[in-house]
């Protein structure tokens, strides 16, 4: 008789579908055999499944990027003078590889992905991947500043709102959270330029030339995420503050600061960090508008420049590499959750 499908629970007991969880000794007394190697299969299967889905997603991204880059028109029309002859136009298209059929161009693009050669930028005359990596660190620096502002501001305002629930501080923090999710980031950026730069002259309007240039674009990029983290922090803290062990900590006479930050906040931190990990992706993908408002020399500004100049190789490189990084980050988070909670990989 073939043995039934088995598993192992967290206490290392054997899971038999018809009988539930039994000890190893009771299972061996039945005389049936089982294979321990099958117990590791769910995690391996889950990893292979997520990597396969990521590969399919990246392949789909390559097709979408290739198609969208060509919707802006013929790139050769912007690189040759209006009075150019037909032979000059044909030579330019041949030099750029635009004379080949679209399926052939897509095949060349896929080959470049496999070899790391995304072609030369039409505008800069350098390898597109090199241009991308020259600007990408600037975007990461701005994203790091925005992440710090969003996390620290969201936690402080959210904790204050939960501790002073129903008071003036709660009403002010609720208003900030509401405005953060209702007012778009680009409008906040424009208002800050008008008020702090034009009217008061405190901060530079654009560029990347010192610590002051990080303040306004960092706040604008962190605006929405800080509001979301404020709401999540307040909700989590209110749930924890109503538990028995918080009441017990206060009955012991512990200082209120210790009760809030050591006992309550530590237990409310998990959903906050989960939301923050999702917001990290936004700090990179959402930088396009903010970088153009503040003339920040990152990949957001570079993307707009490449689109307007119909620089196909550069547009494809920026969107494909950035999207691939975000997909791999999502896979890493999923695998981390599966490692922490076995129910995810078994579902």
- Residue bearing the bigger pLDDT, 238 or 8: 238
Q: Which pLDDT score is estimated for 265?
A: 81
Nearest Cα residue to 149 out of 93, 205, 227, 212:
227
Evaluate whether residue 145 is within a structural domain. Answer: yes
Residue 36 is assigned to a structural domain of this protein: no
**Beta strands 20-22 and 14-16, pairing class:** antiparallel
Are 23 and 4 members of one domain?
Answer: yes
User: Mind giving me the DSSP string for 203-238?
Assistant: S-SSS-SSGGGGHHHHHHHHHHHHHHHHHHHHHHHH
Chain centre to alpha carbon of residue 145:
15
pLDDT in tens, 83-119: 666 676 677 667 666 677 778 878 877 887 778 777 7
Residues of the chain above pLDDT 70, percent: 77
Q: Which domain holds residue 24?
A: 1-30
Q: In terms of domains, do 215 and 232 share one?
A: yes
How far apart CA 279 and CA 300 sit, in angstroms, is 17
Helix (H, G, I), strand (E, B) or coil at 341: coil
Residue where the block lists tokens 């597109």: 128
User: Are 147 and 6 found together in one domain?
Assistant: no
Is there a single domain that holds both residue 327 and residue 212?
Answer: no
pLDDT digits (tens, 9 = 90+) for 183-235: 888 888 889 999 888 888 888 888 788 888 888 999 999 888 888 888 888 88
- Same-domain status, 261 and 296: yes
Task: Please tell me whether residue 278 adopts helix, strand or coil conformation.
Answer: helix
Q: From CA 54, how far away is CA 58, in angstroms rounded?
A: 6
303 and 321 share one domain: no
Q: Is residue 130 part of a domain?
A: no
Q: What is the pLDDT of residue 145?
A: 92
**Does residue 299 sit within a domain?**
yes
Q: Please report the pLDDT score of residue 39 as a whole number.
A: 45
Write down the residue that tokens 């039409």 correspond to: 122
| Tokens at 15, concatenated | 């899971």
Q: What is the largest CA-CA distance in the chain?
A: 92
Q: How many CB atoms lie within 10 A of CB 247?
A: 12
The number of folded domains in the chain is 3
Q: Do 300 and 320 fall into the same domain?
A: no
Q: Which residue has the higher pLDDT, 172 or 74?
A: 172
Instruction: Flag whether pLDDT at 342 surpasses 70.
Output: no
- Mean pLDDT, residues 6-29 taken together: 46
- 107 in the same domain as 16: no
Place of tokens 């691939």: 324
DSSP state string for 54-97: HHHHHHHHHHHHHHHHTTT--GGGGTS-TT--HHHHHHHHHHHT
In a domain, 233, yes or no: yes
Q: What pLDDT is recorded for position 95?
A: 67
**pLDDT, average across residues 293-313:** 83
With beta carbons less than 8 A apart as the criterion, state whether 128 and 119 touch.
Answer: yes
The answer to whether residues 183 and 227 belong to one domain is yes
Mark whether 241 and 151 lie in a shared domain: yes
Task: Indicate the Cα dihedral angle 40, 45, 50, 52, nearest 10°.
Answer: 140
Per the prediction, the chain carries an average pLDDT of 76
Write the DSSP string, 30-57. Answer: TT----GGGGGHHHHHHHHHHHHHHHHH
Quote the percentage of the chain above a pLDDT of 90.
2
Same domain, 244 and 302: yes
One DSSP character per residue, 142-200 reads HHHHHHHHHHHHHHHHHHHHHHTTTSHHHHHHHHHHHHHHHS-HHHHHHHHIIIIIIIS
Q: Scanning the structure block, which residue is given the tokens 């990408």?
A: 136
Does residue 1 surpass a pLDDT of 50?
Answer: no
User: pLDDT at position 251, please?
Assistant: 79
pTM: 0.69
Q: What is the pLDDT of residues 22-61, one digit of tens each?
A: 445 554 555 544 444 444 456 677 778 778 888 888 888 8
**Are 325 and 298 part of one and the same domain?**
no
Q: Tell me, what's the pLDDT at 13?
A: 43
């Amino acid at each position: 008789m073939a043995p039934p499908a088995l598993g192992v629970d967290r206490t290392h007991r054997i899971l038999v579908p018809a009988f539930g969880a039994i000890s190893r000794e009771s299972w061996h007394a039945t005389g049936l055999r089982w294979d321990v190697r099958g117990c590791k299969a769910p995690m391996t299967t889950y990893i292979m499944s997520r990597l396969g889905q990521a590969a399919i997603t990246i392949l789909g991204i390559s097709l979408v990027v290739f198609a969208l880059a060509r919707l802006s028109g013929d790139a050769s029309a912007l690189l040759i003078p209006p009075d150019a002859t037909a032979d000059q136009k044909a030579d330019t298209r041949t030099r750029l590889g635009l004379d080949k059929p679209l399926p052939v161009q897509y095949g060349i693009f896929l080959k470049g992905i496999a070899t790391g050669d995304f072609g030369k930028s039409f505008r800069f005359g350098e390898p597109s991947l090199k241009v991308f990596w020259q600007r990408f660190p600037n975007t990461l620096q701005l994203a790091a500043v925005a992440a710090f502002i969003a996390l620290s501001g969201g936690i402080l305002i959210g904790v204050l709102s939960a501790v002073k629930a129903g008071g003036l501080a709660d009403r002010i923090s609720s208003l900030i959270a509401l405005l953060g999710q209702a007012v778009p980031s680009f409008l906040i950026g424009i208002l800050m330029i008008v008020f702090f730069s034009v009217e008061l002259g405190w901060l530079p309007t654009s560029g990347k030339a010192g610590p002051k240039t990080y303040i306004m674009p960092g706040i604008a990029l962190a605006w929405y995420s800080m509001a979301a983290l404020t709401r999540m922090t307040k909700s989590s803290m209110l749930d924890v503050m109503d538990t028995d062990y918080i009441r017990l900590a206060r009955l012991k006479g512990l200082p209120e600061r210790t009760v809030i930050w050591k006992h309550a906040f530590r237990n409310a931190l998990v959903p906050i960090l989960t939301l923050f990990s999702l917001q990290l992706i936004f700090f990179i993908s959402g930088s396009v508008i903010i970088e153009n408002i503040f003339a920040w020399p990152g990949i957001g500004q570079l993307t707009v420049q490449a689109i307007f100049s119909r620089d196909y190789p550069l547009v494809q490189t920026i969107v494909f590499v950035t999207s691939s990084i975000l997909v791999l980050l999502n896979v890493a988070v999923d695998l981390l959750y599966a490692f922490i909670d076995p129910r995810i990989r078994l579902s």
